[in-house]
Amino acid sequence: MNGGDGNARVAPAAIARISVVISGRGSNLQALLDAERRGELAGSVTHVLSNRPGAAGLALARERGVATSVVDHTAFASRDAFDGALAAEIDRGEPDLVVLAGFMRVLGAGFVLHYTGRMINIHPSLLPAYAGLHTHRRALADRVREHGCSVHFVTPDVDGGPLILQGRVEVRDDDDEAALAARVLAVEHRILPQAVNLYCEGRLRLSSGRVETLAPMR
Ligand code: GRF
């Protein structure tokens, strides 16, 4: 017994705070918010940030009662100035994890290194294939049979950080870009909450540049 007051107990672990950074639609943000609502996320989305004031995902966040911030990249003279303002705004929310979910700006090395091991990104391809933009179009042009999406830790190597989870989809003969993108997106909505949950459960670690996934606690 601790302290002899008859009321000793283990303090509950703090719920992990998640900041989500977006640029647009926000369907991956919605997948996270829905997973949280269903009790499938060992964390809480506490802050949503966007570089675009008109991003639809901001409206969704407000509807769900989540704090939002806009750091409009067009208001800054340089990438460093934008990165600095975005980092300051993210840090104000004191997140345990930063999730880039459809954030369409390349971030400088200084920004990225500040969040080493606590910032992840969802990318619509089976990395290392198709880093960068227009992934579905490029996969179709190459006539690959398999495509998909990846969640990875963010490092200064754009779309090149250590992989956490990947989801595969078969490429069909009659696929066009929109059809393929829609099937990949459905898988993104599954693996991003899974990866975020692993992190929030303390089961995901970046160690010497490699991802370690730990077994669940019993
Ligand atoms: C997703 O396909 C994501 O992988 C990519 O941009 C898209 C964003 O979609 N980086 P949404 O804003 O989450 O709906």
Mean pLDDT of 125-135: 98
Quick check: 9 pLDDT over 80? no
Please give the single-letter amino acid code of residue 180: L
CATH 3.50.50.60 is right for the domain spanning 16-213: no
pLDDT computed for residue 115 by the predictor = 98
Give me ligand 1 centre to Cα 173, in Å: 24
pLDDT computed for residue 2 by the predictor = 36
Domain boundary assignment for the chain: 16-213
Nearest atom of ligand 1 to the alpha carbon of 29: 13
Q: Are 136 and 177 in contact (CB under 8 A)?
A: yes
Nearest atom of ligand 1 to the alpha carbon of 122: 4
Q: What is the pLDDT of residues 164-190, one digit of tens each?
A: 999 999 999 999 999 999 999 999 999
Residue owning the nearest CA to atom 7 of ligand 1: 102
Sequence-ordered list of residues with C-beta below 8 angstroms from that of 99, at least 6 positions apart, any chain: 18, 19, 20, 21, 32, 119, 120, 121, 122, 192, 196
Sequence-ordered list of residues with C-beta below 8 angstroms from that of 141, at least 6 positions apart, any chain: none
Q: What is the pLDDT of residues 138-161, one digit of tens each?
A: 999 999 999 999 999 999 999 999
Catalytic positions, written as ranges: 123
CA 213 from centre of chain: 17
pTM of the model: 0.93
Give me ligand 1 centre to Cα 103, in Å: 8
Give me ligand 1 centre to Cα 144, in Å: 21
Query: What is the 3-class SS of 55-117, one letter each residue?
Result: CHHHHHHHHCCCEEEECCHHHCCCHHHHHHHHHHHHHHCCCCEEEECCCCCCCCHHHHHHCCC
Residue owning the nearest CA to atom 2 of ligand 1: 124
Residue owning the nearest CA to atom 3 of ligand 1: 102
What are 207-213's contacts with CB under 8 Å, separation 24+? 209/155, 209/162, 210/162, 211/153, 211/162, 211/163, 211/164, 213/164
Quick check: 217 pLDDT over 80? no
Q: Which residue has the higher pLDDT, 13 or 92?
A: 92
- Which residues have C-beta atoms less than 6 Å from ligand 1? 22, 24-28, 57, 101-102, 122-124, 185, 188
